[in-house]
A and B are shown apart, each in its own frame.
Chain A
Amino acid sequence: MFVARFDETMIPGRRLAIEDGHRQAGAILARHPGFRRARLLHFAGGPYHYVYEIDWRDRDAWDAFVASSDFPAVRALIDRDLSEPAVVSLYDCKALTDGEA
Chain B
Amino acid sequence: MFIVQGVSDMLFDEEQIRAAERAYDALLHETPGMIWNLYLAGVANPRRTIHLQGWVDQAASEAFGVSPGWQALRSQFLSPRGPRTRMVGPLSPGYWSPVVVVERAPAPTGHEPDPLGIADHAMMFVRPGAEAEVIARERAALAQLDATEGWYWGLLAQNRGRPDALIRVVLWRDDAAADAAPPWTPPSTVQTLERGRYRAILASAWPERDPATRRR
- On whether the beta carbons of B74 and A43 are closer than 8 Å, the reply is no
CA–CA, A47 and B66, complex, Å:
11
Write out, one digit per residue, whether chain B residues 28-51 have a CB within 8 A of any chain A CB (1) or not (0): 000000000000000000000000
Interface segment, A11-19, A32-40, A58-66, A89-97? A11-19
CB atoms of B65 and A47 under 8 A apart: yes
Spell out A's residues near B (CB within 8 Å).
12-13, 15-16, 43-48
Q: State whether A45 touches B159 (Cβ < 8 A).
A: yes
Partner of A48 from B70, B74, B93 at Cβ < 8 Å: B93
Report the minimal beta-carbon distance from B52 to chain A, rounded to whole angstroms. Answer: 14
B interface list, Cβ under 8 A from A? 4, 62, 65-66, 70-71, 74, 91-95, 159-162, 165
A13–B161 CB distance below 8 A: no
Q: How many A-B residue pairs have CB under 8 A?
A: 36
Of the candidates B66, B70, B74, B94, the one whose C-beta lies within 8 Å of that of A46 is B94
With A12-B74, A13-B71, A13-B74 known as contacts, the answer to whether A46 contacts B91 (CB < 8 A) is yes
Q: In the complex the two chains form, is B66's CB within 8 Å of A45's CB?
A: no
A13–B66 contact, CB under 8 A?
A: yes
Beta-carbon nearest neighbor of A47 in chain B: B93
Contact residues of B: prevailing secondary structure: mixed
- Are B74 and A44 within 8 A (Cβ)? no
Given A12-B74, A13-B71, A13-B74, are A46 and B65 also a contact pair (CB < 8 Å)?
no
8 A–B contacts, CB within 8 A, in A order: A12-B65, A15-B62, A15-B66, A45-B91, A45-B95, A45-B161, A45-B162, A47-B93
Contact of A46 with B161 at beta-carbon distance under 8 Å, contacts A13-B66, A15-B65, A15-B66 already known: yes
Contact, CB under 8 Å: A44 / B66: no
Question: Could you tell me the distance between the alpha carbons of A79 and B62 in the complex, rounded to whole angstroms?
Answer: 21
Report the Cα distance A48→B87, complex, angstroms.
12
Complex Cα–Cα for A73 and B162 (A): 33
Question: Could you tell me the distance in whole angstroms from the C-beta of B61 to the nearest C-beta in chain A?
Answer: 8
Docked complex Cα distance between A48 and B162 (Å): 14
Closest residue of B by beta carbon distance from A13: B71
The complex places the Cα of A42 from the Cα of B158 at a distance, in Å, of 18
Shortest B121–chain A CB gap in Å is 18
- Residues of B near A43 (CB, < 8 A) are 161
Nearest opposing residue in chain A for B165, CB measure: A45
**Given the complex, which residues of A lie within 8 Å of B165, measured CB to CB?**
45
Residues in chain A near residue B70, CB distance under 8 A: 13
